[in-house]
Amino acid sequence: MDKKTVTTISYLSRLKIDDEKEEKIIEDLDNIIKFVDQLNIIDTSDVAPLTNPLEKTAKTRKDIVTAKNLKKDLLEVAPSSNDDYFLVPRVVE
Amino acid sequence: MSWETVIGLEIHVQLSTKSKLFSGGSTEFGAEANTHVDLIDMGLPGVLPVANKEAFYKAIRFGLATGAKINQTSSFDRKNYFYPDLPKGYQITQMTKPIVEKGSIKIYLDGSEKVINITRAHLEEDAGKSIHDLFDGETGVDLNRAGTPLLEIVSEPEISNAKEAVAYFKAIRQLVTFLDICDGNMAEGSMRCDVNVSIKKNDSSELGTRAELKNINSFKFIEKAINFEIDRQTKLLENGESVVQETRLYDSEKNETRSMRSKEEANDYRYFPCPDLLPVVISDKELIEIKENLPELPEEKEKRYVEDIGLDKSEAVIISSSKAMANMFEEASAKTNDAKLVAKWLVGDVSALLNKDNIEIDESKLSAENFGKLIERITDNTISGKIAKSVLEDIWENGSDVDKVIETKGLVQIQDESILEDIAQKVIQSNPDQVSAYLNGKDKLFGFFVGQVMKETQGKANPKSVNDILRRLLK
| pLDDT tens-digit profile, chain B (475 residues) | 688 999 999 999 999 999 999 999 999 999 999 999 999 999 999 999 999 999 999 999 999 999 999 999 999 999 998 889 999 999 999 999 999 999 999 998 888 889 999 999 999 999 999 998 888 889 999 999 999 999 999 999 999 999 999 999 999 999 999 999 999 998 899 999 999 999 998 888 888 888 999 878 888 899 999 999 999 999 999 888 888 888 888 888 888 888 876 555 556 888 999 999 999 999 999 999 999 999 999 889 999 999 999 999 989 999 998 889 999 999 999 988 899 999 999 999 999 999 888 888 888 889 999 999 999 988 888 888 888 888 898 889 888 888 888 887 777 777 777 888 888 888 888 888 888 888 888 888 888 888 888 888 877 777 788 888 888 888 7
- Cα four-point dihedral sign B383, B389, B392, B393: negative
Q: How many CA atoms lie within 13 A of B310 on its CB side?
A: 5
* Rounded CA Rg of chain A: 22
Q: Can you tell me whether residue B218 is helix, strand or coil?
A: coil
Query: What residues 143-162 of chain B have any CB closer than 8 A to a CB of chain A?
Result: 143
Chain B within 8 Å of A66 (Cβ-Cβ)? Answer: yes
Residues in chain B, total: 475
Residues of chain A in contact with residue B138, where contact means CB-CB under 8 angstroms, are 80, 87-90
Q: Which residues pair with B174 in a beta bridge?
A: none
Q: Which residues pair with B78 in a beta bridge?
A: B92, B272
DSSP run (H or E) holding B280? strand B280-281
Sheet of B129-135: strands edge to edge?
A86-89, B138-142, B129-135
Query: What residues 43-102 of chain B have any CB closer than 8 A to a CB of chain A?
Result: 50-56, 73, 75, 80, 82-84, 96-97
**Inter-residue contact B12 to B150 (CB < 8 Å):** yes
> Could you give all domains of chain B from N- to C-terminal order, each with its CATH number?
3-287 (no CATH), 296-408 (no CATH), 417-473 (1.10.10.410)
For strands B246-251 and B211-216, give the pairing.
parallel
Residues of chain A in contact with residue B247, where contact means CB-CB under 8 angstroms, are none
DSSP B351-393: HHHHHHHT--GGGSS--HHHHHHHHHHHHTTSS-HHHHHHHHH
Q: Are A71 and B34 an interchain contact pair (Cβ–Cβ within 8 Å)?
A: yes
For residues B79-101, one letter each, b for 16 or more C-beta atoms within 10 angstroms of the residue's C-beta and e for the rest, the string is bbbebbbbbbebbbbbbebbbbb
Write the single-letter amino acid at A49. Answer: P
Q: Which among B34, B125, B148 is the top mutation candidate for probing chain A, defined by the most A β-carbons within 10 Å of its own β-carbon?
A: B34
Q: Can you tell me whether residue B65 is helix, strand or coil?
A: helix
Q: Which residues pair with B213 in a beta bridge?
A: B195, B248
CA neighbor of B374 nearest in space, from B357, B350, B352: B350
All residues at 6 or more sequence positions from B181 whose CB lies less than 8 Å from its CB, including other chains: B13, B15, B16, B58, B59, B61, B62, B151
